[in-house]
Chains A and B, each alone.
Chain A
Amino acid sequence: MIRFIHTSDWHLGAAFSVLPPDLASARRVEQKKAIEQIADFAISEKVDLFLAAGDIFNSQTPSALDIVFVQNIFSKLTNSGIKVFAIPGTHDAYEAGGFWDKLSVESSASIIFTGAGLQNYALQDFDLTIFGYPYRKANHHERVLKEFANEEINAKNSILLFHGSWENRGIELTKGYPFTTEEINTLPFSYIALGDYHKFAQVGAKAAYSGAPLGLDFSAGELGPKSFILGEIENGKTTVKPIELQTTEFSNQEIDLTTVSPAQLLADLSAQKNSQQYLRVELSGIPSLEMAAFISNLKNDISPYFAYAEIKENLAIPNVAEDESTYFGMYCKKLKEMIAKENDEKRQKVLQKALVLGIGLFNK
């Protein structure tokens, strides 16, 4: 039986620009800790292989410190008798003379596939051949994966490391070595260790995305808990198990304010209190006047309950009386007219903000 850890998409050096600088910096520390956790887990589980399926770095020019960090992780693993295999991904695509060449030299005990085309490395002890297809900028729109369907494999077990996008996901279909589940299923390998998507997912019968160790921002694929894979191959058959990492999660919550009272909103949000969560609240619907006045301070109100909180307002114009008998009514009427007349979206947002601001101040 061959046991392995499969991870990908570390994105070392990511700026985490959705977070304030101090939190972004803390996030980078957490990121390295999460990667160390994966390595420590691999060592404590005494697995045979450690597979890193691309996007280890966030860019093609990672910082020297990040490179050294990866060297140290790799050598820690190889020193514990674990065979390390890695490929470059979309963000850290291989470039001749780039840092990968140096890293390959410095981490000579690890196998980093950087050459052109499909490469392999035989591990006779395991009757296993590891294949790797490094990401190279030049030809990333090609459907390369299906070309491996007729690959001859002279070992009982085989693993392919591949960084590419699964079309069934329905997200951004054509970028980065696209493939379909059918294409995956026709491949002759025992297991395909995928990288690119940041959430754990099984693709067909014998491929899986391990997911990233932690989320990068508030976009859909980055939310919620993150994981890596502990897998086993026996007689050419693979089983995988996602192992969740305890890291601060990005979370996105949409709240329709139309029927919610301020007290209820605050109670709901504070009930979700979680210091291990970066929360983005997207407010939609038609706020009451009371709510419109209330949300201007909502961020401060809920910040203590989360690692970070931000409010995105995507609100419809509040239902306000447009009577001209009060300043407030007149103000609302004028602004609604201005909003209706305005064609520039950006300016419209400003006017809407002015309306909500006025509602807040008049109802203070």
Chain B
Amino acid sequence: MKLIKLSLHNFRKFDKAEFDLDSDTVLICGPNETGKSTIHQGIIAALFGIGTESAGLLAKDEIKSLQGGNPAVELLFSAQGETYKIERDLEKGKARLFKKTELSDFAKVSEDLKFISQFILKTIGVSSPAVFNKTASIKQADLAQISNLSEIGENLEKIFAGTGNISLQKVEAELDKLRKSLRKERNEKSGELDKLAERKGELEKRLFDAQNIASESQNLSEEVEQLSKLVPELEARISELDSLLLKLQEKINLETKRNDLRKQWKEANEKLSRILAYKERKRKIDEELQEFAANKKTKNQQPILAFSLGILGFVLAGISFASLGTLAVLLIFGVIFLAAAILIYFFPKKKPVETDEQKNLLLEKEILERSKENLEEEANLASILENLEFDGNAQNRALEAFGGFNPSTEEVEKWKSELGARKKELAESQERFHFSRGVLKVEREGNVSPEILAGELEYLENQIQEKEQLYQAILVAQQTILGIKQEYHGQHLPVLEKEVSRLFSVFTNGFHNKVALTENWPAILVEDEKGNLIPEALSQGALDQLYFAFRLATADLLSQNVKIPLLLDDPMVHFDDQRRNQAIAILAEVAKERQVIYFTHDEELAGKLTKSIGKSKLVQLV
């Protein structure tokens, strides 16, 4: 690849300028502030446009014209046998790419920025503007920054990375940081995924609980519904049973009372009978006592009676004889009356009471007379009995109302046991009803709906899925990087090592013949004069040379066999004369393979370069 011509319009200090670069070596020479860096920047801007520093590009502010007006650049270059022209309006961010045709005219290839950018990268064989800047474009400041060997390694790693200012180590560290932020390993702090998983667990539990509560609420609500029907039913049944038993009790009370009355009546009646019996007894005793007295009289009167009867018989016999004249009649009457008299006289009707018996009777009578009060109750008892009979009738009439109400004992027992059971059931149901209704209220008002929790869970799961994808991607990235690191080092370090060793040996005039990269990359070992590989502390000059060697070698390595132009911005400013001469010799070598554009303020150096490189073009800035 070769740059042919650069035109700058309103680009920093150049109002309108054209630079012919059509040579294998171009020396751009001029004191400070004459526009060397501006030309360098113009080339970069023409190739890649403007943008951000991180992308290896110039910022718009950096290229602003001092005179005002829209900055624009145009670059003519050849690559892979073709000649191209690129025009960029840096103010509007537009670009056009042309290709020279056989008719020696430029035909437009594209105005598409993206296409142009891809085309340029492909044509010059680097992966990004940053890589171009880090390899082909070498500024004096790049070298001065290097103060030891390990910095060279680190710098090269950034170049190898291929995108700008980040090294692979940094990418790996970032990945691990990201990985840690997601999921912990061993003793690390919990990452986002760990926390999400924890929250998911909690949420699942809450959802489970809420679902249980909801289904319990459903059951409770059914139970409350049932209980709200059952309780009044129970209450009704209990009141029914209560009234049945009350009725029974009333009946029993009436019967008891009636029986009492009956008993009282019976007692009163018995008492009255007893009193009447006493009375009768007493009368009998009196009679008997009279009989005793009468008996005595009867005994005394018996002969008189018999005699009287005899007389009467004779009288009657005499009368009958006198009237009838018949002796027989006389005899019959006389015998009859005589016999009667004899009978009366001799037949004692009762034996007289013995004295003891009489005494007993008298004693008994005395006892009976002593219970004279009882005897006086007779009248009372009669009225009591009458009352009792009245009350008894009233009870009977009251009991008539219970006609047909004759529960059997078993029936009553059944009622009683049912009543007990129902009362217990009612109490339990009421308690359960109030409890369930209370719980239901609390649950309904307090329970987060399972649907909403399920929604939260869904959101969380989506988040987890997203983060998990990222986590898996991180693992893939980490593994891939491990793989490419090995592969890259295996593939490129030996090549680089060989080339750097060769260049450094030439630069140092054979003082350092070998630079070892593969031993312990990114640590670099340099062979000393005794042939030992050591992490040598090199002088600043030697470091610059080594770094320069690296840059040249990597430019070849990274530009994939496209020999891109080298833009060298006074890299040899710190080289001593001897080394400078060696560097000039190297550049002469390099210039055989690729275009070298060398910016310097040192006219002497420019002269030396022109002399040793031969075919070259000098652009003198003033």
- A residues with a Cβ closer than 8 A to B are 13-21, 24-25, 28, 58-59, 61, 63-66, 258-259, 288-290, 319, 321, 323-331, 334-335, 338, 349-351, 353-354, 357-358, 361-364
Contact = CB atoms under 8 A, between A and B. Distances in A.
B368 interface: no
Contacts of B485: 327
A331 B484 contact: yes
Interface in B206-257: 214, 218
A351 B476 contact: yes
Contact of B452 (A15, A330, A331, A361): A15
A21 B451 contact: no
Given A319-B114, A328-B162, A354-B477, 4 more contacts: A319-B118, A321-B122, A323-B127, A334-B484
B127 A350 contact: no
A15 B207 CA distance: 13
A28 B456 CA distance: 13
Interface stretch (B262-270, B486-494, B518-526): B486-494
Interface stretch (B83-91, B168-176, B333-341, B371-379): B168-176
B558 A325 contact: yes
A24 B459 contact: yes
A328 B55 contact: no
Interface stretch (B315-323, B466-474, B564-572): B466-474
Given A325-B560, A327-B160, A358-B171, A349 B469 contact: yes
Nearest to B121: A321
Interface string B115-132: 000100110010110010
Contacts of B342: none
Contacts of A61: 214, 218, 451
Contact of B459 (A20, A319, A349, A361): A20
A325 B470 contact: no
13 contacts: A16-B455, A20-B459, A21-B459, A61-B214, A64-B444, A259-B114, A326-B162, A327-B485, A330-B484, A331-B484, A357-B470, A357-B474, A363-B164
A364 B168 CA distance: 12
Nearest to B214: A61
Nearest to B557: A325
Given A326-B160, A354-B480, A357-B474, A24 B455 contact: yes
B556 to A, nearest CB: 10
A85 B218 CA distance: 27
A255 B217 CA distance: 48
Contact of B171 (A59, A325, A362): A362
Contacts of B470: 353, 357
B354 interface: no
A364 B456 contact: no
Nearest to B470: A353
A355 B166 CA distance: 17
A362 B444 contact: no
A322 to B, nearest CB: 9
Nearest to B161: A327
A321 B128 contact: yes
Contacts of A19: 459
Contact of B127 (A290, A328, A354, A358): A328
A48 to B, nearest CB: 34
Contacts of A326: 127, 131, 160-163, 558
Nearest to B456: A21
B477 A65 contact: no
B91 to A, nearest CB: 16
Nearest to A97: B222
Given A64-B445, A350-B469, A15 B477 contact: no
Contact of B163 (A259, A334, A335, A362): A362
B459 A325 contact: no
A359 B337 CA distance: 180
A330 B163 CA distance: 12
Contacts of A289: 128, 163
A334 B480 contact: yes
A21 B118 CA distance: 45
B163 A328 contact: yes
B133 interface: no
B221 to A, nearest CB: 9
